[in-house]
Structure 1
């Protein structure tokens, strides 16, 4: 059975400090209600790149303390500061995270040799397994099949969190590296990703929509493609509504509607407006109630 991971959100207070109780509530909801297979901690959905070093470490501590050994955990440790990435990789490994992940280094148009060095350095001296976090729409970094192959020469690099709309490349990578773990990162394209043989999915909307996504995976595995298509359509209606309402604040607002205290987004992300709150209430009533 393919695995479903929620990309864990980080609850913040209005002043930008971490809301520990809110993070714990979201972990518990994902485990107890959503029945996810795992959590991806410290990724884009967790607002990792809006956090300082100490906040990142505290989120990693809270998530693993609350989840314990109940689900698989992946810690995203990538940073433009390689020393920080290396320190976080050691930190989460010592905490007991069984897998780490790292976004491709971005902004400065790094060469592939620099990217390869970055991943190998993160893993040097760390007894852990790593998933490359490939998200070209945000990083501007598109790795080729040959470049993935070079990175896979490091035996500690076990796969990819593939958040990329290039499904031709996905098919080529999947069939060239059948033993590597590939987790789809675009919630709105779960069904075509399943058709191309991914091992599961990681996504932000699974915090709210895991039951529907898991039902879609089951329908696909059973060969009921029409049911899977209908469930993907329903999920995409939800995703479209979230995007129109400003997705990151809205994910938290809808969680609040569901009785889970998700806090607010951290500036410079937008704080909720009355219009956003009304939109989130409608999203909950229309798609999740």
Structure 2
């Protein structure tokens, strides 16, 4: 997939009082990140609370995203669940809705062997004509795509890349090393701390939750790196770190929603049982956002 590059925010999913997808709120989020110059939009990621939405709400979110993005950038749709069967169902839904690519997380709760995970991803890729971006997030799912497993998965024709949301940067480097001869396979940072580092080792970009809030700043890292301004890219990366540090201010994934609400981009509440940050942490969020000129 030639357009698998740059900054791809896993957009938050605004919900109404009944915890169903708020289409107008979702469109506001999309407008905000597109105005920030992002290179793709990822709907139904972990920041998008995919796990909290039933099938119809997931379908509603993908269809609304495809419609509102209107081919300005590629739309990546999450197709993640515990079972292979459910992932295939989501993959077909996303393809029917007009998504440009799928993003598939490792299974949650269960602990499949590497052989079982290989067969899982192979079956999902084989069920669709869409490109598949693998999503490794061992901290959240407790399942890790090892370097050896990635080598095998990268040979499947429509598996085109991997997003590594892990603090194990050595693993990201290894992902790039073992796939560097595969021009069609891309590695992206899934940790906002490692955007510049991933690019420096030959990665294609990032899937960055902070790009919901500060898309221009995250894009600045990528654009300056691509222009050869490494000092400027590193400066932008350091500037982003305090925002990424705020993830600890509340229960994941509420913080990016709280930031956007504070910025005057209403995205509503997190899906229960997650709650908003405490008043004290909200005040700290205000200070971080003000330091980035995102609020007055």
Compared CA separation, residues 154 and 251, structure 1 to 2 (3 A) = same
TM-superposed CA distance for 1:195, in Å, is 1.3
In structure 1, how many angstroms separate the alpha carbons of the residues matched to 2:249 and 2:276? 15
CA contact (8 A) 2:132 2:159 kept: yes
Unaligned ranges ≥5, structure 2: none
Relative to the length of structure 2, the TM-score reads 0.90
Written as runs of structure 1 = structure 2, the 5 A alignment for 1:183-202 is 183-202=188-207
TM-superposed CA distance for 1:276, in Å, is 4.4
Question: After superposition, what is the alpha-carbon deviation per residue over 1:80-113, rounded to whole angstroms, capped at 9, x for unaligned?
Answer: 1322211111111112111111101132210111
In structure 2, how many angstroms separate the alpha carbons of the residues matched to 1:191 and 1:128? 28
The residue number in structure 2 matching 1:265 is 270
* Paired residue total: 288
Paired residue secondary structure (1:6): coil
In structure 1, how many angstroms separate the alpha carbons of the residues matched to 2:25 and 2:150? 37
CA contact (8 A) 1:40 1:76 kept: yes
CA RMSD of aligned residues (A): 1.9
1:65 aligns with 2:70: no
TM-superposed CA distance for 1:140, in Å, is 1.6
CA contact (8 A) 2:251 2:274 kept: no
1:103 aligns with 2:105: yes
Written as runs of structure 1 = structure 2, the 5 A alignment for 1:135-154 is 135-154=137-156
Structure 2 counterpart of 1:284, from 266, 269, 289: 289
Written as runs of structure 1 = structure 2, the 5 A alignment for 1:157-172 is 157-172=159-174
In structure 2, how many angstroms separate the alpha carbons of the residues matched to 1:271 and 1:169? 33
Paired residue secondary structure (2:163): strand
Unaligned ranges ≥5, structure 1: none
The residue number in structure 1 matching 2:15 is 12
In structure 1, how many angstroms separate the alpha carbons of the residues matched to 2:167 and 2:19? 32
TM-superposed CA distance for 1:190, in Å, is 1.2
Written as runs of structure 1 = structure 2, the 5 A alignment for 1:4-83 is 4-31=7-34, 33-83=35-85
In structure 2, how many angstroms separate the alpha carbons of the residues matched to 1:233 and 1:46? 25
Question: After superposition, what is the alpha-carbon deviation per residue over 1:5-64, rounded to whole angstroms, capped at 9, x for unaligned?
Answer: 111110012332222211111011111x21211111111000011222221111111111
The residue number in structure 1 matching 2:254 is 249
1:221 aligns with 2:226: yes
CA contact (8 A) 2:106 2:144 kept: no
Compared CA separation, residues 104 and 246, structure 1 to 2 (3 A) = closer
The residue number in structure 2 matching 1:119 is 121
TM-superposed CA distance for 1:273, in Å, is 4.3
Greater shift, 127-136 or 212-221, is seen at: 212-221
Question: After superposition, what is the alpha-carbon deviation per residue over 1:136-176, rounded to whole angstroms, capped at 9, x for unaligned?
Answer: 11112222222111112321111101212222222222132
> After TM superposition, what 4+ stretches of structure 1 lie above 6 angstroms from structure 2?
none
In structure 1, how many angstroms separate the alpha carbons of the residues matched to 2:21 and 2:92? 22
CA contact (8 A) 1:170 1:196 kept: no
